[in-house]
Amino acid sequence: MKKEKKFADQIKDNDFIITAEYLPAAETDAARIKSVISYLKEIPSAVNVSDNPFGVSMSSLAASLHLMKEGIEPVFQMVTRDRNRIAIQSDILGASSLGIGNMLCLSGYHQVLTDNPESANVYDIDSTQLLAMTDKLRTSGELLNGNRITGSFSMITGAVANPFMKPMELNILRVYQKAESGADFIQTHAVFDVEVFGAWLAAAKEAGITDKAAVLAGILPLESAEEAESLKDKYTDINIPDSIIERLKSAGSIEAQKKEGIAICVEIIKKIKNMSGLRGIHILSGGKEQLIPEILSASGLSGK
């Protein structure tokens, strides 16, 4: 299932989409960057490039260019936590001028959840406003203040959804607003509870969200029960059932737990990939890009 057409065309043509995540590090070593990127070359659709989610790392814009040099279509990420509207629009225009045509719009984790908790946040606009701002750029060629830009602008935009946020009514309303604001695709947080995810997807479909945007289910490989417990304790938006943690513990050694984590991913993909309203899978690497080819192959998504 190698990439045969652009991400935008896959969305438009109602293809089954497979994206993945590249998590840049705080680094400048081009050889190591190229080595990590090599694990992403079989992704059929596009690869998200994280924007400092946990602290300082190589910029999403620079890392996106590294992907493009290797023939991989990037999804440039924009977090509103660290920039005001001037800097945001400047970076978006710069990305477009370099040929980057996809962007994921995020508010970002609060800085206390990063390795720089003393940093000031900005949050001049939120992710929904960012979507609307970018939609204005592509439909009318105007910046947020009404000034027109020189040249054309085309950008596929995406948003994030948490299927496990309660109450469901508010959850669906927030996602609907993102779709109405111009989101072409929506990538969800990691799915571990298939039943709850199925109920959310059904509600999203009923609300018309799946007609407006391609919904991709997030899949996260866990390497150990300790990692699962740490993520669950630190990030309230990550829903990992106790049954998953116990399953990892029961696997035994760390190496066995890594294998079990991949097996869990594969099982979840097989359970959800044919759900009505689901348009694809998004593999959240969490910096473990080397696991992606194995997950694709074992779940039958690589075409090999």
* Cα 145–Cα 150–Cα 154 angle in degrees, nearest 5: 85
Tokens of 205: 């479909």
By three-state DSSP, how is residue 103 classified?
A: strand
For the entire predicted model, the pTM comes to 0.95
Tokens of 91: 């970076």
Residue 221: C-alpha distances to residues 203, 248, 258, 287, 294 (Å) = 26, 11, 8, 10, 11
The CA radius of gyration of the chain, in Å to the nearest whole number, is 19
**Predicted local confidence at residue 3, as pLDDT:** 67
By three-state DSSP, how is residue 164 classified?
A: coil
Amino acid, res. 196: V
Reply yes or no on whether the pLDDT at 304 is more than 70.
Answer: no
Residue 28 near residue 196, CB atoms below 8 Å: no
Reply yes or no on whether the pLDDT at 96 is more than 70.
Answer: yes
Tokens of 150: 């020189």
**Predicted local confidence at residue 36, as pLDDT:** 95
Q: How many residues does the chain have?
A: 304
Q: Which fold has domain 7-224+259-298?
A: TIM Barrel (3.20.20)
**Predicted local confidence at residue 47, as pLDDT:** 98
Q: pLDDT for 194-253, tens place per residue?
A: 999 999 999 999 999 999 999 999 999 999 999 999 999 988 889 999 999 999 999 999
Percent of the chain scored above 90 by pLDDT? 90
Give the residue among 223, 209, 222, 195 at the shortest CA–CA distance from 278.
209
**Predicted local confidence at residue 2, as pLDDT:** 54
Q: pLDDT for 111-161, tens place per residue?
A: 888 889 899 889 999 999 999 999 999 999 999 999 999 999 999 999 999
**Predicted local confidence at residue 110, as pLDDT:** 85
Q: pLDDT for 24-75, tens place per residue?
A: 999 999 999 999 999 999 999 999 999 998 899 999 999 999 999 999 999 9
By three-state DSSP, how is residue 265 classified?
A: helix
**Predicted local confidence at residue 109, as pLDDT:** 82
Tokens of 106: 């995020």
Banded pLDDT at 1 (limits 50, 70, 90): very low
Phi, psi of 55 (to 5 degrees): 140, -160
